[in-house]
Structure 1
Amino acid sequence: MELTLLGTGAPEGLPRPDCPCAACATALGDEARAATALLVDGSLLLDLTPGIAFAAARAGQNLGQVRQVLLSHPHDGPAMEIPAGLPQPARVPDGRELTLISGQRVRAVATDAPGTGYEVTGHDGERLLYLPPGAAAAGTSGPEATAAPYDTVLMDVLGRPDALARLREAGAVTPDTDVLAVHLGHDVPAGRETVRRLTAAGARAVPDGTRITVGPPPAPGVRGLAAGTGPAPARPPLPRRTLVLGGARSGKSLEAERRLAAWPEVLYVATGGTRDGDREWAARVSLHRERRPASWRTAETCDLVPLLAEEGPPLLLDCLSLWLTDAMDRADAWDDAAWAGGGERELRERCAELADAVRTTRRTVVAVSNEVGSGIVPATAAGRRYRDELGRLNAAVAAECEHVLLVVAGQPLPLKG
């Protein structure tokens, strides 16, 4: 089955008309996107969008062979002009299946937002799933009812990472599924940051006009053909170990959570523990819990080495700076005499053990830590000791990670990977 992405943008496109925001101002060249529309085998058009005939011409396609036009999301604006020769657009009722003259089978998938998703099966059994913007599959007609995983999924990956997590949990998306991000609008970070976020989600984005072969890849490491460019590059490998650094209120924890939002059954390891009677600390912990996906579990512990050694779902460690506080407490490393009498050696051994556990773990790990080396020099010897040891710990863990980010004012800056 051949799929041509005539557009990959949000319903308003990117850039939005007359929008002065920074994302729209920088959406040039391949970053400019028409509203998402898909052409399947030249005969099935999913979504009728403004300028569809011009989009097809730019992609080297002719709409003259289209025999069916299906709509996925509601159109609330004025009546859309239908190019000459195209059949009248229709919408398939949820759960209904139809067989097209061209041979594909189409099943309508109910969603949890206005609109309809479509599952398309090709002549040789290859399967794709297309979801409208801001939507996840829902109900008994959803992918939970499918017998096999999809070859290709096109959906709002960055807007609804939880929807992708649900598809993975149901077995509808596997490591072999080509997940393509569509409905990309001006709320999506521009440039390389979009690539990094999608890579963390196990997905990718392609320019308008890209052609994709749905089904087994034509060669190792190749997922499809980009129009006029030859083989498209393979998806970048998932970073298995990521360290997210940042200062206070920099957005580092939110960024770490975002890196795992498309994965089910994440274990959120909170190293801060509990503080009896501290209402402000309890409020912070509660805020963290509320914004995590419901499918994630939480463990409040500083015993990280056994968790890293176990098999299991991805780990989010938040944070190493609080883990170090606990390690220094156990070694009595705040006291000068205890530090000189063996506390330093004990702490260094604990830190080395943790770094070694990060090196040998087979789990996907995202760890958070504070970057304190650029701030005010602490007034006490114990404070300076903590600052120095945290710097050493961060460097040791970063050396074992494929991906290291520094978050400044909410902006993730790649340091490695």
Structure 2
Amino acid sequence: MDIELRGAAAAQGWPAPACRCASCNRLRAAGVRYEPFDAAIDGVALDGLPRTDVPGGYEVRGPGGGFALVASGPGAEPEPPPGTEYEAVLLDLAGSPEHLGRLRSAGAVTDGTQVVAVHVDHRLPSPSELERRLAFWTRPRPGPFRTLLLGGGRSGKSAEAELRLAAYPDVLYVATGPAPGDDPEWAERVAAHRLRRPAWWRTAETTDLPGVLGSATGAVLVDGVGTWLAAAMDETGAWDDPSRVLPRLDDLVSAWRGTAARVVAVSDEVGLSLVPATPSGRAFRDLLGLANQRLAAESEEAALVVAGRVAELG
């Protein structure tokens, strides 16, 4: 199935006329413009192909018999009939990359399906950022493969972790933090994370990370290493004697090294925070720094997230 993109942008194009956002200005300054979405399949324009409407888009049959699913516009999430499998899907990945994961989980998108991003616009910072994300979404890596994402508080590291796994058909989200209890601020944070995650992801609330990593085979998102360490220190009484938690850290690193899963883990970069005023705080900082170093040494990828922007670490 030969897909020719004659334009890939939303209806106004990218950059949008008179728009002063950084994304549009960046393209304008570079003399780059993406025309509104238009495509041909096997040399025939989409408008000239047999079409069947589905919620959020339509299906088309190419002259060579290939079957494709097309999103109708920005924000649209086309829903195929049950049991349908496509040779190609043209989707709004800028707005709904997780929809690709849902199509994969339903069997509509397979390893042989062409995945094309359409309706692109200034919801993306730049074309290079689109290419970076497409590498995660169109060619999801199987396990074993480990990524450690580091960042300060509110840096965007959790959102980056979710973005990297958005297009996987099945993701286990491992929440290592405590239950909200009577803390309304913590409950609000937990609720925001839940709303941001795709509804079909599975969730495990546990501090047994070695057990999860030892048994998982699909995609796993761990959020995060710092809350796991705090729980491990509680359980081992390590606040007064940090050495007590080291066997737990050894177990985690061993499981991280031996996992068969595709794992993305989030952790706090302790070098970005103030020096703790208490001995227990300094012990936690030192142990988390050690954990980050040991996990990074056993990771195929590591990255630092600052203000929502990502710097890959060699």
Q: Same fold (TM over 0.5)?
A: yes
Contact 1:245 1:252 (8 Å CA) reproduced: yes
CA distance in structure 2 between the partners assigned to 1:118 and 1:382 by the alignment:
60
Partners of 1:120 and 1:248 lie apart in 2 by: 49
Partner of 1:330: 235
**Are the aligned partners of 2:152 and 2:272 in contact in 1 as well (CA < 8 Å)?**
no
Tell me how far apart the structure 2 counterparts of residues 175 and 394 of structure 1 sit (CA, whole Å): 34
Alignment partner, residue 10 of structure 1:
10
Tell me the SS of whatever aligns to 1:179: strand
Could you tell me which residue of structure 2 aligns to residue 96 of structure 1? none
Q: Separation in 2 of the partners of 1:236 and 1:26?
A: 29
Residue 143 of structure 1: CA displacement? 4.5
For residue 77 of structure 2, give the secondary structure of its aligned residue in structure 1: coil
| Residue among 142, 146, 151 paired with 2:87 | 151
- Which consecutive unaligned segments of at least 5 residues does structure 2 have? none
Asked if the contact 1:143–1:170 (Cα under 8 Å) also holds between the matched residues in 2, the reply is: no
CA contact (8 A) 1:200 1:238 kept: no
**Counterparts of 1:32-51 in structure 2 under 5 Å?**
32-42=33-43, 44-46=44-46
Amino acid at match of 2:76: A
1:318 corresponds to: 223
The Cα shift of 1:185 comes to 0.3
Say whether the 8 Å CA contact 1:158–1:198 is kept in structure 2: no
- Which residues in structure 2 correspond to 1:255-404 (within 5 Å)? 255-274=160-179, 276-335=181-240, 339=241, 343-344=242-243, 346-404=244-302
What is the alpha-carbon distance in structure 1 between the residues aligned to residue 184 and residue 122 of structure 2? 38
Unaligned runs of 5+ in 1: 47-68, 71-99, 101-105, 204-234
Native 8 Å contact 1:317 1:366 kept in 2: yes
Deviations 1:205-235 (A, max 9, x none): xxxxxxxxxxxxxxxxxxxxxxxxxxxxxx6
Give how far 1:30 is off: 9.2
CA drift at 1:264 = 3.6
**Could you report, residue by residue, the CA deviation over 1:348-392 in whole angstroms, capped at 9, with x for unpaired residues?**
222122122122212121111111213211122221111111111
> Structure 1 389/314 Cα, relative in aligned 2: closer, same or farther at 3 Å?
same
TM-score when normalising by structure 2:
0.90
TM-score by length of 1: 0.69
What SS does the aligned partner of 2:194 have?
helix
Question: Percent same amino acid at aligned positions?
Answer: 45
Contact 1:266 1:314 in 2 (8 A): yes
* RMSD of equivalent CA atoms: 2.3
Q: 2 CA distance for matches of 1:298 and 1:371?
A: 25
Displacement after TM superposition at 1:121 (Å): 4.0
C-alpha contact (below 8 Å) 1:242/1:403 kept by paired residues: yes
Q: Distance in 2 between matches of 1:108 and 1:363?
A: 38
Look up the equivalent residue of 2:82 and give its one-letter code: E
Task: State the shift of 1:192 in Å.
Answer: 3.4
Sort the Cα spacing of 1:312 and 1:119 in 2 relative to 1 into closer, same or farther, 3 A.
farther
AA at the equivalent of 2:185: E
Contact preservation (8 Å) 1:244, 1:367: yes
User: Which position in structure 2 is the counterpart of 1:406?
Assistant: 304
Alignment of 1:120 onto 2:61: yes
Structure 1 runs of 4+ off > 3 angstroms?
28-31, 235-240
Counterpart AA for 1:118: E
Distance 2:114 2:294 in 1: 34
Judge which range, 299-308 or 346-355, deviates more. Answer: 346-355
Contact map agreement 1:245 1:406 (CA 8 A) in 2: yes
Aligned length: 311
Deviation at 1:271, TM superposition (A): 0.6
Contact 1:131-1:155 within 8 A present in 2 as well: yes
Cα distance in 1 for partners of 2:53, 2:168 equals 22
Q: CA deviation at 1:172?
A: 1.2
Residues 288-317 of structure 1: per-residue CA shift (max 9 Å, x gap):
222222112221110011111114442111
